[in-house]
Amino acid sequence: MSDVIVWLVRHGETVWNAQRKISGWVDVELSERGQQMARDLRPRLHPEEFDGVWSSDLRRALDTAHLAYGRPTQQDLRLRELDFGPLEGEDWTLIPQHQQREVLAFSEDCTFGGEKISVFEERVFAFLDELPPGRHLLFVHAGVIRLALRRAQADKFVPPTTVAIVNWTRKHLLEMHLGPEVEGHK
């Protein structure tokens, strides 16, 4: 196989997702529901063979990898979520409407003082562009998946435990299996 195929798996629901708080680089753990969501992925992932298995270094991605796949992963800081800066830990429902619109649009300065989308793209795409041809499983975050989907002309915010399969070489979405919606989140 000469193409790079990435299976992008969003982590399970976190305790902050359940509380409608914004998380980025804060190392938030999975909720009990999130742990079960991750275990529910096992039948989808376990029979598959991958040339590489990677994860963000944040606990929610690592725990999802352990519960959903059960095999060692290589950690890479470049797979971390967007650094939301001053928005981290804020209740989504309490931030001003104009800030909510910017975050949902994933605009360049949507973090209002955190990481810019162009910087986020640079680090995530540097990782993806370095992958050798083959099939790679990545346990990541909503923002990482959104960047890849945007590049594949399929921009979408995805719920926890979504699996998006992208031909990274051709920048084409092959398939997507949406995870269950988290109450109160789009």
Q: Give the span between the Cα atoms of 149 and 151, in whole angstroms.
A: 5
Report which of 66, 4, 75 is spatially closest to residue 29, judged by C-alpha positions: 66
Given the DSSP bridges, would you call strands 74-75 and 4-10 parallel, antiparallel or unpaired?
unpaired
Q: Which letter does DSSP use for residue 90 in this model?
A: -
The catalytic residues are 11, 81
pLDDT at 180: 83
Q: Please write the tens of the pLDDT for every residue from 136-159.
A: 999 999 999 999 999 999 999 999
Q: Give the span between the Cα atoms of 121 and 130, in whole angstroms.
A: 14
**pLDDT tier, 183 (very low <50, low <70, confident <90, very high otherwise):** very low
Structural domains of the chain, with CATH: 4-177 (3.40.50.1240)
Q: Give the span between the Cα atoms of 111 and 120, in whole angstroms.
A: 11
